[in-house]
Structure 1
Amino acid sequence: MLVLANASTAVGSETEELVLRLLVQLLVILVATRVVTVVVRRLGQTDVSGEILAGLLLGPSALGLVFPEISTELFHPSTSTIFVGLAQIGLILLMFQIGMEFEFSEQLGQRKASVVAVSLAGLVLPFVCGYLSAPWFHEQLAAPRPPLLGFRLFFAVSMSITAIPILGRIFMELGLSHTRTAALVIGSAAIDDVVGWLLLGSVSLIVAEQFSFVWAAQRIGLIGVYVIAVFFVVRPLLKQWLARDIARRGGLGLPTIAVVLIVLLCSASLTSYLGVFAIIGGFLIGLALHDDRRFVALWNQRVSPLVMMLLLPVFFAYTGLRTDIGALDGWWGLAVCGLVIVVAFGSKFGGAFLAARAVGESSRDALTIGVCMNTRALMELIVINIGYDMGVVPRDMFTMLVIMALVSTFVATPLIGWLMKGERRQVAAT
């Protein structure tokens, strides 16, 4: 790290010093990510698992534990804001791609009621179980403990969340994005996330003593209006323009990509303003264009590689850098963490499985749906980071919830691959 320490004498300005730090960080993250993903693929995991694990190894759980000075100097706080921006842009673009990849109309057919049923059961039961069990977990926390109500609400939300980006990556990498089960799960998870982010916003305001039912009603109404506008106004106009432009240019030109990005970022900005976070806006535009398969193929050819190989590893790795899984205190802490995992897995799996069976899914498909809906990963980390910043999720519980989120991802990949092994399509190696 001597080079970084003396960067100000080797380059001509503070800007160049910042650029050098950023470049070194990107190099380390990308190299570590590729090495770790090669290893985890041999263990039956997907790239997303390797990207998360690479972040953990570079953070306080490994590098920071063994070489704290190197870790601090390598990932200097001066670049943290830039990394957050890069990570969020990557996530928005990933959500756009996920929306385009899933063949909802073809695969779901008349099963839209199944999506709603699985989504609601997979949201309500975990929330109730989390809320009822939270007082016991609250008593196990180290003093000083946060206010009980705020802790209960955030703990309940953390039990309810599902990670669309992680599920999308798993399905795409396993060659399963074409299946009806994948479409049902992603549709259910999308509803879960929209409701979950609204719930998170409401809970945040309750904790801050600013909640208003008028606020919630306004947000729900505005989001409904926006979804209608996307599918009945933006979608037909954008599809017609894309068809004409691609035919005229004979492909996807740079001006066309620029226009799509403008629409995408506008959508992300609007949904963020409406209180359901920017990634939902990206997903909605992708879903609106999913049946234009020529555009999807061209986009995947020209734009997706940069997103998948650069921006996404930054998001997954940088989030892992903020996680310290060595913070648990002794065997009792591990036991409490195990119980958190049991409550999270049991309630989410139970709700999704029972709802799937109730709407006529086979036992195997219901098992698959239950496993998929348990995938929380980094969407969970967003929730608990908000709770941590607000002071209602203390550090020991924060660590337990991080472990629960990561375990759900590592367990889900092989189980999904095994349960759906007869439905795979061959996917290109990355």
Structure 2
Amino acid sequence: MHAMTTTEVFLIAMVIIFTAPYVVWRLGRTDYYAPLVVIQIIGGILLGPGVLGAAFPAYHTFVFNPQVVTALNGIAWWAVMIFVWIAGIELDLKQAWRRRRDTGITAGLALIVPLVLGSAAAAFMLNWDGWAGPDAQQWQVVLGIGMACAVTALPILVLLMEKLEILRHPLGQRCLRYASMDDVAIWGVLALILLDWTRVGRQAAFLGAFALASYLVRKLMVTIPERDRWYVGLIWLGVCGFAADSAGLHYMVGAFLAGAVLEFDWFDEAQMDAFRHHILLAVMPVFFLSTGLRTQWDVGGVAVFGAAALLLAASVVGKLAGVHLAGRILKWKEGEASLFGWLLQTKALIMIIFVNILLDKRIITNGTFTALLLVAVASTMLTIPIVTPKLRRLLAPAQAQNAPDEAGTRLATEQSVT
């Protein structure tokens, strides 16, 4: 038998990446409590060194050797940059501004309360070694973990609301506004955490150059056909990612900013939805695998699970408390605060991206990263099973009210036919 080339081993890895999660998702019929994207994240963890690598070290080393991992990382970097870029484009800040009191109070409390509880949990964890990265100051670790507990994954929230058939419903649009404002805050806090005082001049120069370049790109976008906007947008994405990373921030900060300054109206909505789905289908599973390859249990499995449970409790309780407080202030209908509180628990991708950056910058350790990854998976898995009955109860009065009208319409149609 001939020695396998790197290309052949890479293709074996790709087959595993796409086959294993799909088979579990389809045969296990997990969609209600664990959509395919969640199974792919879990699959990445299981294929990582903490599970597959521990059980079959020789096989794991053969398939996921350094050359293959380097190739996979390249695909993962570009895939997640595109995904974050799309999330930036889909921000509807105009709608949020028009309803700024409702949006500001809800988004603010939904972010601040879990941030405070998550930060308190992080401060408690730092009483033991193994959670703070080698290049981190204590405030960076505390704020980073706290922010991870507060995030909402806007792109995954869109997918889940499509599944629940409320994306275009007024409830869905409200939830998107709240999540959009939190998305902006997430990247702002990340920029603060990554602020490097030894390179603050370069970072200030980046922000100044970005503001000027954004003005020119926006002027260009309105003068070219839509098909050209996609090409120009991707070029703009690459430039912003490179510039942000060179300035000492992170290419993900550049990717988000590259999308946030573009208008969603410049792109066809159906094409944007299809593009997001295709990125999720074709390349994001590689990102999930590359994320799973970084999971480790180096501070002990029990400690990691204990930290994950603590942070999940801080995240869930904080988000629900914040949204319920907003509901009281704004006098929402009964049941709305609980619905929004659980929908905004969806963390998945954005939290994973966020903690990947913290790990890249050596602010957190692999053990902290693994605990936060478990929180991202658990919070997302809770969403659909808990939200579905709440949504049914909330919409039941409106559906009952519409039922007589629908029955009358059907009767009139039948009489006209006869």
Q: Given the two structures, how large is their TM-score scaled by the length of structure 1?
A: 0.74
* 8 A Cα contact 1:95 1:286, kept in partner: no
Counterpart of 2:44 in structure 1 is: 55
Find the aligned partners of 1:199 and 1:119 in 2 and give their Cα distance.
15
Find the aligned partners of 2:306 and 2:212 in 1 and give their Cα distance.
46
Indicate how the Cα distance of structure 1 residues 281 and 391 shifts in structure 2: closer, same or farther if over 3 A, else same.
Answer: closer
Match of 1:182 among 154, 168, 172: 172
Match of 2:60 among 71, 81, 94: 71
Indicate how the Cα distance of structure 1 residues 315 and 416 shifts in structure 2: closer, same or farther if over 3 A, else same.
Answer: farther
Indicate how the Cα distance of structure 1 residues 271 and 86 shifts in structure 2: closer, same or farther if over 3 A, else same.
Answer: closer
* 8 A Cα contact 1:114 1:356, kept in partner: no
Which secondary structure state, in structure 1, belongs to the residue aligned with residue 335 of structure 2?
Answer: helix
Find the aligned partners of 2:326 and 2:206 in 1 and give their Cα distance.
28
Counterpart of 2:333 in structure 1 is: 362
1:138 aligns with 2:138: no
Match of 1:287 among 264, 268, 273: 264
Indicate how the Cα distance of structure 1 residues 375 and 287 shifts in structure 2: closer, same or farther if over 3 A, else same.
Answer: same
Find the aligned partners of 2:359 and 2:272 in 1 and give their Cα distance.
38
1:122 aligns with 2:110: yes
Counterpart of 2:308 in structure 1 is: 337
Kindly provide the amino acid, as one letter, of the partner of residue 382 in structure 1.
I
1:91 aligns with 2:80: yes
Find the aligned partners of 1:216 and 1:130 in 2 and give their Cα distance.
28
Indicate how the Cα distance of structure 1 residues 98 and 277 shifts in structure 2: closer, same or farther if over 3 A, else same.
Answer: closer
Indicate how the Cα distance of structure 1 residues 102 and 123 shifts in structure 2: closer, same or farther if over 3 A, else same.
Answer: closer
Which secondary structure state, in structure 2, belongs to the residue aligned with residue 41 of structure 1?
Answer: coil
Match of 1:263 among 233, 237, 259: 233
Kindly provide the amino acid, as one letter, of the partner of residue 192 in structure 1.
D
Kindly provide the amino acid, as one letter, of the partner of residue 297 in structure 1.
A
In the TM superposition, residue 32 of structure 1 has moved relative to its aligned partner by 1.4
Find the aligned partners of 2:269 and 2:220 in 1 and give their Cα distance.
17
Percent identity among equivalent residues? 22
Counterpart of 2:185 in structure 1 is: 195
Find the aligned partners of 1:340 and 1:298 in 2 and give their Cα distance.
37
Mapping 1:395-414, distance limit 5 Å: 395-414=366-385
Find the aligned partners of 2:271 and 2:349 in 1 and give their Cα distance.
29
Find the aligned partners of 2:145 and 2:307 in 1 and give their Cα distance.
14
Find the aligned partners of 1:229 and 1:359 in 2 and give their Cα distance.
40
Counterpart of 1:250 in structure 2 is: none
Find the aligned partners of 1:128 and 1:42 in 2 and give their Cα distance.
33
Counterpart of 1:318 in structure 2 is: 290
Match of 1:379 among 347, 350, 359: 350
* 8 A Cα contact 1:127 1:157, kept in partner: yes
Which secondary structure state, in structure 2, belongs to the residue aligned with residue 309 of structure 1?
Answer: helix
Kindly provide the amino acid, as one letter, of the partner of residue 320 in structure 1.
G
In the TM superposition, residue 183 of structure 1 has moved relative to its aligned partner by 2.7
Mapping 1:211-226, distance limit 5 Å: none
Kindly provide the amino acid, as one letter, of the partner of residue 296 in structure 1.
E
**Residues paired across the two proteins, number:** 385
Mark the runs of 5 or more structure 2 residues left unpaired by the alignment.
Answer: 397-418
Counterpart of 2:319 in structure 1 is: 348
Find the aligned partners of 1:64 and 1:187 in 2 and give their Cα distance.
42
Which secondary structure state, in structure 2, belongs to the residue aligned with residue 393 of structure 1?
Answer: coil
Indicate how the Cα distance of structure 1 residues 287 and 180 shifts in structure 2: closer, same or farther if over 3 A, else same.
Answer: farther
Kindly provide the amino acid, as one letter, of the partner of residue 286 in structure 2.
V
Find the aligned partners of 2:132 and 2:88 in 1 and give their Cα distance.
43
Match of 1:149 among 133, 139, 149: 139
* 8 A Cα contact 1:40 1:49, kept in partner: no
Indicate how the Cα distance of structure 1 residues 102 and 222 shifts in structure 2: closer, same or farther if over 3 A, else same.
Answer: closer
Indicate how the Cα distance of structure 1 residues 132 and 45 shifts in structure 2: closer, same or farther if over 3 A, else same.
Answer: closer
Kindly provide the amino acid, as one letter, of the partner of residue 40 in structure 2.
E
Counterpart of 1:297 in structure 2 is: 270
Indicate how the Cα distance of structure 1 residues 102 and 223 shifts in structure 2: closer, same or farther if over 3 A, else same.
Answer: closer
Find the aligned partners of 1:361 and 1:226 in 2 and give their Cα distance.
42
Q: CA RMSD in A?
A: 3.8
* 8 A Cα contact 2:304 2:368, kept in partner: no
In the TM superposition, residue 35 of structure 1 has moved relative to its aligned partner by 0.9
In the TM superposition, residue 29 of structure 1 has moved relative to its aligned partner by 0.8
Find the aligned partners of 1:226 and 1:116 in 2 and give their Cα distance.
29
Per-residue Cα deviation, 1:203-244 (whole angstroms, up to 9, x for no partner):
223xx55485x88888778777777777x7466445xx33xx
Which secondary structure state, in structure 2, belongs to the residue aligned with residue 140 of structure 1?
Answer: coil
1:394 aligns with 2:356: no
* 8 A Cα contact 1:264 1:282, kept in partner: no
Kindly provide the amino acid, as one letter, of the partner of residue 48 in structure 1.
V
Counterpart of 2:386 in structure 1 is: 415
Indicate how the Cα distance of structure 1 residues 393 and 405 shifts in structure 2: closer, same or farther if over 3 A, else same.
Answer: same
